[in-house]
């Protein structure tokens, strides 16, 4: 192919989905001259599946992205249709924010942010080749022959790499929403020695709102009090839309079973591995054969469209079968499909080929992010994109890499899981994946991560000052509650008895009362005349930290204990074959993952506690010989 010199830059980001957006914005905001490539400018920030942001554990990720200076939380707040805090009936560790989003408005917002960003260029082009140069740089070539030179490259290709669409017996090359796929880049990635594999995902149909009978469905309202994702959102939008719930039935099940042979998944035409935690409706029917019905959520795609999204009904069955299925469901008897459901298969990398920085091993300067790394979900993608962008920029600037420990964040847990344990199917973040859930609450993401965002130049001075003010308000109120007493004469006992908890016989600190499960911060207002007026988020933090103080301290002790192993670094050139006492499986896994610390090594599947003991002895031996780092 004849090429022309299109210029020299610091960082290339290939793909402008949720991972690519955060990677590009972070790199540019850190002062690196960056280019982000997308096959179609109209696909920037696209939501080809559910038009929502957040959810269980995912809401935590969005808060953490925001605390580090990312854009997803701000964009979600600006384009919210309905907001709900999930899991309110459970403990604060699993409270997770979820918002229904105006899909097209979100895309426009993100595209405009990229266009406005200094140091960042947005290019519509299909990248067909990337390869390293002799001087340690990277060449990127587009389909039209533009040849760029970059210091670092971030691969955020989503589901576009050799994307293949499946609808029943019909299958063809392409990307989501009728777009084209990236058909040529895979060949060059394989030449680089990248261990690629095939994954699969799917998306449900969109149906015409006026063709739905909502009177037969349950209404799902948003919260009265809106909690924003971003700490910069001062006035959250109000809920403007409602969602609905309906269910499949025995007739639905019968139709699916009778046509299962026409599903490319069960006909053996799809080779990619699908998501375990977001299966297609035909998968649900087979895997949960005894279940009489499955829940289906009807959700709006935007304020200026009549498209409604059928969450929980992804499928690759033929279009005529899909119509029959939907018409068997209450409220959808006469629904009109606007976009049919489909499955999509794509290339991605084995994440065990990545370092914790998301740099690809044996390919210095080449990073992966999002679905390219084997994950699923907009939030997981954005989190990885942000970290890949930060690390690429830090490398350009000659700074040490940034690896967030598991104890610091869900982002740290997500990346550590991917690069240490790998994944056999598209990885989805869940609160159960973290052993430090009580420390990694949604409401303290700013305290955990905003100093890191500020240090990297992604948090502005005003936002930083507001953060410090919030911290001071919280600390002062906790101290005040621990120092302020209330006497049994004040009428407090009437409240305590009404809440079925023991009355006071002597004076008691307000913090001690707040430790009782039946008593909440606002209950104490009549007995606390010196109480300051505080924002809702500060009250939430105060309440949680006092109520769960003992549990939080206990979990912090676990973190401190684990830090000892995390701080025991492993040399990058250890010859594990020569370490006496290691089992063969451990040697194989350690050589593949190349853990940076004993802590990371302990989390590798196939490395036993006995193997860790052998490594500790080996490190002590190196130290005594003067070779320890």
Can you tell me the distance from the alpha carbon of 448 to that of 413, in angstroms, rounded to the nearest whole number?
14
Taken in order 612, 614, 617, 619, is the CA torsion positive or negative?
A: negative
Where in the chain are all domains bearing CATH 1.10.150.570?
A: 567-624
Can you tell me the distance from the alpha carbon of 102 to that of 467, in angstroms, rounded to the nearest whole number?
29
Backbone angles phi, psi at 16, to 5 degrees: -125, 40
- Taking only the tens place, the pLDDT of each residue in 425-449 is 999 999 999 999 999 999 999 999 9
Do 440 and 412 touch, CB atoms closer than 8 A? no
Residue 238: helix, strand or coil by DSSP? coil
In this prediction, residues 121-129 reach a mean pLDDT of: 98
In this prediction, residues 118-139 reach a mean pLDDT of: 97
The label of the residue with tokens 């959808």 reads 332
Percentage of the chain beyond pLDDT 70 is: 99
Query: pLDDT at residue 165 above 90?
Result: yes
Query: pLDDT at residue 105 above 80?
Result: yes
What does DSSP assign to residue 95?
-
Query: pLDDT at residue 277 above 80?
Result: no
The reported pLDDT for the residue numbered 622 is 81
Give the strand pairing for 307-311 and 295-300.
antiparallel
- Taking only the tens place, the pLDDT of each residue in 583-599 is 999 999 999 999 999 99
Query: pLDDT at residue 525 above 50?
Result: yes
Q: How confident is the model at residue 549 (pLDDT cuts 50, 70, 90)?
A: very high
Nearest to residue 584, comparing CAs of 605, 555, 607? 607
Percentage of the chain beyond pLDDT 90 is: 89
- Taking only the tens place, the pLDDT of each residue in 3-28 is 999 999 999 999 999 999 999 999 99
Q: Is 305 exposed, middle or buried (0-12, 13-18, 19+ CB in 10 A)?
A: middle
- C-alpha distances out from residue 488 to 493, 501, 531, 543, Å: 6, 14, 18, 22
Instruction: Find the length of the chain.
Output: 629
**CA quadruple 435, 417, 408, 383: dihedral, nearest 10:** -130
Q: How confident is the model at residue 548 (pLDDT cuts 50, 70, 90)?
A: very high
Per CATH, which fold does 206-345 belong to? Elongation Factor Tu (Ef-tu); domain 3 (2.40.30)
The reported pLDDT for the residue numbered 627 is 58
Residue 527: helix, strand or coil by DSSP? helix
Where in the chain are all domains bearing CATH 3.50.50.60?
A: 4-199+350-455
Q: How confident is the model at residue 628 (pLDDT cuts 50, 70, 90)?
A: very low
Nearest to residue 608, comparing CAs of 585, 591, 592? 585
Where in the chain are all domains bearing CATH 2.40.30.260?
A: 206-345
Do 212 and 365 touch, CB atoms closer than 8 A? no
The C-alpha angle 425, 428, 432, rounded to 5 degrees, equals 115
**CATH architecture assignment, domain 4-199+350-455:** 3-Layer(bba) Sandwich (3.50)
Q: How confident is the model at residue 629 (pLDDT cuts 50, 70, 90)?
A: very low
Can you tell me the distance from the alpha carbon of 411 to that of 281, in angstroms, rounded to the nearest whole number?
30
The reported pLDDT for the residue numbered 625 is 74
Least confident of 36-50, 340-354, 489-503: 489-503
Return mean pLDDT, the chain.
Answer: 94
Nearest to residue 340, comparing CAs of 226, 507, 176? 176
Where in the chain are all domains bearing CATH 1.10.10.1800?
A: 464-556
pTM: 0.95
- Taking only the tens place, the pLDDT of each residue in 48-103 is 999 999 999 999 999 999 999 999 999 999 999 999 999 988 888 899 999 999 99
Query: pLDDT at residue 575 above 50?
Result: yes
- Taking only the tens place, the pLDDT of each residue in 322-352 is 999 999 999 999 999 999 999 999 999 999 9
Which class would CATH give 464-556?
A: mainly alpha
Asked if CATH classification 3.90.45.10 holds for the domain at 567-624, the reply, yes or no, is: no
- Taking only the tens place, the pLDDT of each residue in 226-246 is 999 999 999 989 999 999 999
Can you tell me the distance from the alpha carbon of 505 to that of 327, in angstroms, rounded to the nearest whole number?
65
CA distance from start to end of the chain = 48
What does DSSP assign to residue 409?
-
């Amino acid at each position: 192919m004849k090429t022309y010199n299109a210029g020299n830059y610091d960082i290339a980001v290939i793909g402008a989905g949720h991972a690519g957006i955060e990677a590009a914005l972070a790199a540019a905001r850190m002062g690196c001259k960056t280019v982000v490539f997308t096959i179609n400018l109209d696909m920037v920030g696209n939501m080809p599946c559910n038009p929502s942001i957040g959810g269980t554990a995912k809401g935590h990720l969005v808060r953490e992205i925001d605390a580090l200076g990312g854009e997803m939380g701000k964009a979600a707040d600006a384009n919210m249709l309905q907001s709900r805090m999930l899991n309110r009936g459970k403990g604060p560790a699993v409270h997770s924010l979820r918002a229904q989003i105006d899909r097209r408005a979100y895309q426009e917002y993100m595209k405009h942010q990229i266009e406005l960003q200094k140091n960042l260029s947005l290019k519509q082009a299909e990248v067909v080749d990337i390869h390293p140069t002799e001087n340690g740089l990277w060449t990127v070539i587009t389909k039209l022959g533009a040849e760029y030179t970059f210091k670092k490259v971030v691969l955020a290709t989503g589901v576009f790499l050799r994307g293949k669409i499946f609808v029943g017996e019909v299958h063809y090359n392409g990307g989501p929403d009728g777009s084209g796929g990236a058909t040529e880049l895979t060949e060059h990635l394989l030449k680089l020695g990248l261990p690629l594999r095939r994954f699969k995902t799917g998306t449900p149909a969109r149906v015409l709102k006026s063709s739905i009978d909502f009177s037969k469905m349950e209404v799902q309202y948003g919260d009265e009090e809106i909690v924003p994702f971003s700490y910069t959102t001062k006035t959250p939008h109000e809920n403007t839309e409602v969602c609905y719930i309906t269910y499949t039935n025995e007739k639905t099940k019968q139709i699916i079973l009778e046509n299962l042979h026409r599903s490319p998944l069960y006909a053996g035409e799809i080779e990619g591995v699908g998501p375990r935690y977001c299966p297609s409706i035909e998968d649900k029917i087979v895997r949960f054969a005894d279940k009489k019905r499955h829940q289906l959520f009807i959700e709006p795609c935007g304020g200026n469209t009549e498209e409604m999204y059928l969450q929980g009904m992804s499928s690759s069955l033929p279009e005529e079968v899909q119509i029959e299925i939907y018409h068997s469901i209450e409220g959808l008897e006469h629904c009109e499909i606007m976009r049919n459901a489909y499955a999509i298969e794509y290339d991605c990398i084995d994440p065990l080929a990545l370092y914790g920085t998301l740099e690809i091993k044996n390919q210095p300067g080449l990073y992966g992010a999002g679905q390219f790394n084997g994950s699923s979900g907009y939030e997981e993608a954005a989190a990885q994109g942000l970290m890949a962008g930060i690390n690429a920029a830090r490398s350009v600037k000659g700074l040490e890499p940034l690896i967030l420990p598991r104890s610091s964040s869900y982002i740290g847990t997500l990346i550590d899981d991917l690069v240490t344990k790998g994944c056999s199917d598209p990885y989805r973040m869940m609160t159960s994946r973290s052993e430090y859930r009580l420390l990694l609450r949604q409401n303290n993401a700013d305290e955990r991560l905003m100093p890191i965002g500020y240090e990297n130049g992604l948090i502005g001075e005003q936002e930083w000052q507001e953060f410090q003010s919030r911290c001071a308000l919280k600390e002062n109120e906790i101290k005040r509650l621990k120092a302020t007493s209330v006497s049994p004469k004040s009428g407090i006992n009437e409240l305590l008895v009404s809440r079925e908890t023991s009355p006071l016989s002597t004076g008691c600190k307000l913090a001690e009362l707040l430790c009782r499960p039946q008593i909440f911060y606002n209950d104490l207002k009549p007995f606390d005349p010196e109480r300051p007026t505080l924002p809702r988020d500060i009250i939430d933090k105060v309440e949680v930290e006092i109520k769960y103080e003992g549990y939080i301290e206990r979990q912090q002790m676990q973190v401190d204990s684990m830090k000892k192993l995390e701080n025991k670094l492993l040399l990058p050139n250890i010859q594990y074959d020569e370490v006496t006492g290691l089992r063969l499986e451990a040697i194989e896994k350690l050589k593949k993952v190349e853990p940076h610390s004993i802590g990371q090594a302990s989390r590798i599947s196939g490395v036993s506690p006995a193997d860790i003991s052998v490594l500790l002895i080996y490190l002590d031996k190196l130290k005594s010989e003067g070779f320890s780092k």
